[in-house]
Amino acid sequence: MLTASNITFRVGQKALITDVSVSFAPSKLHLIIGPNGAGKSTLIKVLARLLRPQNGKIEYDGVDVQHASEAALAKQRAVLSQAVEVAFPLSVREVVMMGRYPHFGGRPGPADERIVDEVMAHFDVTEFSRRNYQTLSGGERQRVNFARVLAQLWRDGLTTNTSSCRYLFLDEPLTFLDIRHQIDFMKKVRAFAGDRDVVTVGVVHDLNLAARFADQIVLLNHGRLVATGAATDVLTVDLIQATFGVKPTFVAGNGSGVHLFFD
């Protein structure tokens, strides 16, 4: 369980997040939406404790993360960012192995090697294993990074030793993916988010994808919480028009909810 209470985050005099309180339950997929500059990425970074809010507190499993060490947090929290650039030539496998860094001291153990093999197979990046990360396309890189992030949070029968939740944050993960990989990606996120000890919070731009995949939608505007709840409660004509400034038309899809169109 992730709880954010009365979060305010300012840079200088400018408040990017103002008094946001929201909680995220495990085994559900939570997606944050909102127009540009609404504070979506900032909120993700505050929730992941990259940024520390001036007011309010963030609790993981009821424990304030304000004073948690980076090393301890990294064992249970992972973040997938928009575009990860690698400064020097590195093999894809080395990048994925970084996800295991929080879990081993000097050299990776057999469990780490096994987990890396598993996640790489899961994301169809095994064939790139020895390729230089810098030579991959944007979409391929994003799959590699997703594999890395899941390697960080991976637990299996042999490595589990804790009952605390795992926290997965996704900061606009779909930016460089084509439509097929977007849907493929969201399905994999959903499958992982379904685990009973996983709390997943993401930012997406596409309202249709949000409507289709989210269990809970969080609508932000000007750094404030506008609405939160199921897609049908949040994605209404009035709320969308009020926050995004465009009027949607709802069209019934064949079997998978509604689709939004904009004029």
Positions that interact with another protein (CB under 8 A): 48, 50, 69-75, 77-79, 81, 84-91, 93-95, 97-99, 101-102, 106, 113, 134, 152
Q: With respect to another protein, which residue has the nearer C-beta, 70 or 263? A: 70
Which H helix or E strand runs over 233?
A: helix 231-234
Output phi, psi for 100, to 5 deg. -90, -5
Residue 243 CB, nearest distance to another protein (Å)?
Answer: 27
Residue 12 CB, nearest distance to another protein (Å)?
Answer: 12
Per-residue DSSP letter, 191: H
Per-residue DSSP letter, 16: E
- CB-based contact 144:92 (threshold 8 Å): yes
Q: With respect to another protein, which residue has the nearer C-beta, 30 or 93? A: 93
Q: With respect to another protein, which residue has the nearer C-beta, 2 or 240? A: 2
Residue 11 CB, nearest distance to another protein (Å)?
Answer: 10
Residue 125 CB, nearest distance to another protein (Å)?
Answer: 14
Q: With respect to another protein, which residue has the nearer C-beta, 3 or 82? A: 82
Q: Which ranges of 155-206 would DSSP assign to H, the alpha helix? A: 179-193
Residue 68 CB, nearest distance to another protein (Å)?
Answer: 11
Q: With respect to another protein, which residue has the nearer C-beta, 167 or 244? A: 167
User: What are the Cα distances from residue 259, in Å, to 32, 34, 104, 210?
Assistant: 18, 17, 46, 11
State how far the Cα of 234 lies from the Cα of 54, in Å rounded to an integer.
28
User: What are the Cα distances from residue 251, in Å, to 95, 204, 210, 231, 257?
Assistant: 42, 21, 15, 15, 9
